[in-house]
A and B are shown apart, each in its own frame.
Chain A
Amino acid sequence: MEFIYYFGDVFTPINFGLLLLGTIGGLILGATPGLSPTMAVALLIPFTFQLEAAQGLILLGAAYTSTVAGGAVSAILLKIPGAPANIATTLDGHEMALNGEGAKALQLSFLSSAVGGVFGVLLLIFLTPVLAQWALAFGPSHLFWLAILGVTVIGSLDSKSVVKGLLSGCIGLWLATIGFDDIMGAQRFIFHPSLGGGINIIAALIGLFAIPQVITMFAKGRKNDGTEAIKVQKHPIKGAISELFRYKRAMGIGTLTGSIIGLIPGVGGQIAGLVAYDQSKKFSSDRDKYGTGHPEGLIAAESANNAMVGPSLVPLLTLSIPGSPTAAVLLGGLLIHGIFPGTDLFDNHPDVAWTFINSMLIGQILMCIFGLYVAGMAARVAQVPQSMMAAIVLGLAVFGSYSVQSSMGDVYVMASLGVMMYFLERFGFSAAPLVLGLILGPIAESNFIQGSMIATATDGLAPYFFGGPLNLFLIAVVVLSVLYSAYMELRSRRYISKEDIVA
């Protein structure tokens, strides 16, 4: 309960001002395509040189939480996921915006972000010592099985056909091999110097999601102008809150999945949203509505990606090991003031630690209030004529992919992947499984190589990868997940008549 003593520190004029600044600035940075939470926090580091330790961390913490939520804005309105965390948000969120429910989608996304986020930070406050053990429990073999679990999701994610889902997942896995391999340093498929570092995930995201849509808009030409203008429905905030209570299950699944997966160093943040989306789909009675603008999918994805924020800081704050790139930047923010995370932080600088954590709690709520305030206005973006919209999205896509590491190479990668995806989409493939393959490929590969090196030096491959309760549990979940998908596929096939197949 120590954290309550330090609540007052959040509300001193300077601290609260910084909190507001970080939250609003974070929302704007997060809504800008290409500026991922990591980049946003890194951009703010120089400002913290001049501030006191606690103040600097308030600014960084607020920016972290609100950029994650802000990423939903471009994901919903423009179908550009700002970071891997927002991929699942585009699936139903953008469909909702196209149906004229943009305001509702944004409100729901900010509300569920806040609920997930507050839960995540509360976990961080109360369960840190327990969670730290949990984060350490995942060795190479467990991470490998976890990535395989992710792969089993690929087939069922946002695809009419399991086979096409798996095929696009394979394309993603292949794309992930491009570049110098991180462990051995071998060169793979580097046809051009800009591919040396591999496919940058942010540039790939922008290309795969935004470009096909831009091409479609251009292809329609001007003939539909005006007739297609979407009527943006107004949506009362009260309505959004009651809607949120209607979908308690999606909310709960999203929050729990996000918190648990967020904890695992190196993996969590990227796949929390996608896994939560898939899980809530499997448990939902409206399975078929997913992907057509169903609020449940949006709620699960957004509550998961904000629930991950709190737990993702556990390895950093307790063990001094940054579990994600953003946590690594926050570590810099602490070190610059001579504070070492770990026992030193909580024993000798409790004011810094708790003020930081408390400010993330208040930040979640502030973020929600501002988000709800701008949701109505932001949703009008959908009324912009398509021809203009295409140009704007294209401009943002180029800007976003260039700004990741100031490299034209990333822009070329973005453009070529985008054009490729346009044609793939016409044949019924979708981008989400492809991206999942791109994310999971390196995780599975490097952990398998590491695990096998450790295994050959110690007690052999089979005992290492199949031994221990956590390995067996993960394998069981993988098997269940595959069986479930196969069962659903068979069951739905039984109801499809011959005419359906011909059609």
Chain B
Amino acid sequence: MKKLLAGAAIALMGLTQTATADGHANYPERPIMMMVSYGAGGATDFQARIVTMTAGNEDALGMPVAILNKPGAGGRVGWNWLAGQAEADGYTLGAYNVPHFIAQSIKGGVEYSAASFEPIANWGADPAVLVVGKDSEFNTLQDVIDFTKANPGKLTTSGAGLFVGHHIAALQMEKAGDMKMAYIPTKGGGAAALKAVIAGDVMAGINNLSDAFRAAQAGNVKILAVADLERNEFLPDVPTMMESGLDVDNASVNFRGVMVPKGTPQGIIDKLAATVPTMFENGRVQGKMKAGGSPMHVMNREEVLAMWAAREVALKELLAGL
């Protein structure tokens, strides 16, 4: 019996040996889990489910991806878990939100930084937009700037929280216009911040393009400007902040994508980096994303690495004074 067990053990060892030796060619051999650090139903969760729905196809990963929600503390709970507790075996992926997790790591109090993760690919880019209620007296970005300059610290502006894209955009606007706004972070994310604008609790708001686009379609808000380098295909008539004379770049754009914890075998990272972007470009995925009003922006691993590094520099400078 003992011999039999020993034999089985050796055979098993042999099996794992071959698996590592051939450079993870068989990866993935079982379903993969992807951690989303926001609750079910949020924009990140919703998009993550769509972009991974074709993972089981033969031309993609060949194995389904299951979404695991670990919400809490503006995403910190989930990313702490991914950096500290998740197994770096390639079967645990995570969704990232830039600038959120980079800004949080700069402010401290968390167990991760951009160096704790390896990006795989980017699927979406949701720029921040400036919205006002439908009956607001503001009709252009210039109106808002004029008011803010005349009344420093009086323009109440809602956003999803501190150190998220919305907050970054507000900081950039203040810096570029040399003015002072009253940024009001809300509990309950972008939806609650948008409600505050529609209900007139605040004078203006900074929100996700995708959510604001829906509210504008329903006639509840006016979108005055987009905080991005160029106009968005969903809103061809809305100018960028730069066009309106406010020097705000795309540092606040909410990039969403897939990453793995540091220490994941290089072979697996390479395989994922090669396969995942094509999965995002699948026609069905693109169709569903467009229908849901979620702007896509597919980037490969090298592009994401560069984007992360650029964000880290820009955010360190912006947050230095806070």
Residue of B nearest to A335 (CB): B292
**Residues of chain B lying within 8 A (CB to CB) of residue A332:** 41, 45-46, 49
Tell me if B316 is interfacial: C-beta within 8 Å of chain A. no
**Residues of chain A lying within 8 A (CB to CB) of residue B156:** 453-454, 457-458
Q: Tell whether, in the assembled complex, residue B191 and residue A322 are in contact, meaning their CB atoms are under 8 Å apart.
A: yes
Tell me if B297 is interfacial: C-beta within 8 Å of chain A. no
Interface size class of A (residues with CB under 8 A): 35 or more
Number of A-B contacts defined by CB within 8 Å = 170
Tell me if B7 is interfacial: C-beta within 8 Å of chain A. no
Tell me if B23 is interfacial: C-beta within 8 Å of chain A. no
* Neighbour of A197 across the interface among B68, B71, B215, B292, CB < 8 A: B71
A407 to B71, CA, bound (A): 11
Tell me if A161 is interfacial: C-beta within 8 Å of chain B. no
Interface size class of B (residues with CB under 8 A): 35 or more
Given contacts A42-B40, A457-B154, contact A340 B293 (CB under 8 A): yes
Residue of A nearest to B77 (CB): A197
Given contacts A185-B161, A196-B77, contact A405 B218 (CB under 8 A): no
In the assembled complex, how far is the CB of residue B99 from the closest CB belonging to chain A, in whole angstroms?
14
Q: Tell whether, in the assembled complex, residue B161 and residue A182 are in contact, meaning their CB atoms are under 8 Å apart.
A: yes
Q: Tell whether, in the assembled complex, residue B41 and residue A320 are in contact, meaning their CB atoms are under 8 Å apart.
A: no
Tell me if B201 is interfacial: C-beta within 8 Å of chain A. yes
A458 to B155, CA, bound (A): 8
Tell me if A266 is interfacial: C-beta within 8 Å of chain B. yes
* Neighbour of B73 across the interface among A42, A46, A197, A331, CB < 8 A: A197
The interface-forming segment of A62-70, A133-141, A246-254, A366-374 is A133-141
Q: Tell whether, in the assembled complex, residue B184 and residue A453 are in contact, meaning their CB atoms are under 8 Å apart.
A: yes
Tell me if B175 is interfacial: C-beta within 8 Å of chain A. no
Given contacts A183-B185, A266-B192, A322-B191, contact A344 B217 (CB under 8 A): yes
Q: Tell whether, in the assembled complex, residue B40 and residue A325 are in contact, meaning their CB atoms are under 8 Å apart.
A: yes
**Residues of chain A lying within 8 A (CB to CB) of residue B192:** 265-266
Q: For residues 341 through 374 of chain A, which have their beta carbon under 8 Å from a beta carbon of chain B?
A: 341-344
In the assembled complex, how far is the CB of residue A451 from the closest CB belonging to chain B, in whole angstroms?
9
**Residues of chain B lying within 8 A (CB to CB) of residue A330:** 41
Residue of A nearest to B210 (CB): A335
**Residues of chain A lying within 8 A (CB to CB) of residue B283:** none
Q: Tell whether, in the assembled complex, residue A343 and residue B199 are in contact, meaning their CB atoms are under 8 Å apart.
A: no
**Residues of chain B lying within 8 A (CB to CB) of residue A319:** 195, 198, 215, 218, 220
Q: Tell whether, in the assembled complex, residue A39 and residue B215 are in contact, meaning their CB atoms are under 8 Å apart.
A: no
Given contacts A332-B46, A335-B291, contact A185 B219 (CB under 8 A): no
A235 to B69, CA, bound (A): 43
In the assembled complex, how far is the CB of residue A9 from the closest CB belonging to chain B, in whole angstroms?
22
Tell me if A336 is interfacial: C-beta within 8 Å of chain B. yes
A49 to B287, CA, bound (A): 12
In the assembled complex, how far is the CB of residue B64 from the closest CB belonging to chain A, in whole angstroms?
10
Q: For residues 201 through 241 of chain B, which have their beta carbon under 8 Å from a beta carbon of chain A?
A: 201-202, 214-215, 217-220
Tell me if B263 is interfacial: C-beta within 8 Å of chain A. no
Q: Tell whether, in the assembled complex, residue A139 and residue B72 are in contact, meaning their CB atoms are under 8 Å apart.
A: no
**Residues of chain B lying within 8 A (CB to CB) of residue A456:** 182
In the assembled complex, how far is the CB of residue A330 from the closest CB belonging to chain B, in whole angstroms?
8
**Residues of chain B lying within 8 A (CB to CB) of residue A39:** 40
Tell me if B321 is interfacial: C-beta within 8 Å of chain A. no
In the assembled complex, how far is the CB of residue A319 from the closest CB belonging to chain B, in whole angstroms?
6
Q: For residues 160 through 219 of chain A, which have their beta carbon under 8 Å from a beta carbon of chain B?
A: 179-180, 182-185, 187, 193, 196-198
Residue of B nearest to A456 (CB): B182
Q: Top 4 nearest A-B pairs by Cβ distance?
A: A197-B72, A338-B291, A342-B218, A328-B41
Residues on B lying within 8 angstroms of A by beta carbon are 39-42, 45-46, 49-50, 53, 68-74, 76-77, 80-81, 84-85, 104, 107, 109, 111, 153-156, 161-163, 182, 184-188, 191-192, 194-196, 198-202, 214-215, 217-220, 288, 290-293
Q: Contacts A136-B198, A139-B196, A196-B77 given; 18 further ones with Cβ under 8 A?
A: A42-B69, A183-B185, A185-B76, A185-B104, A193-B84, A196-B80, A197-B70, A197-B71, A321-B194, A328-B39, A338-B291, A340-B293, A341-B214, A342-B219, A454-B182, A454-B184, A457-B182, A458-B154
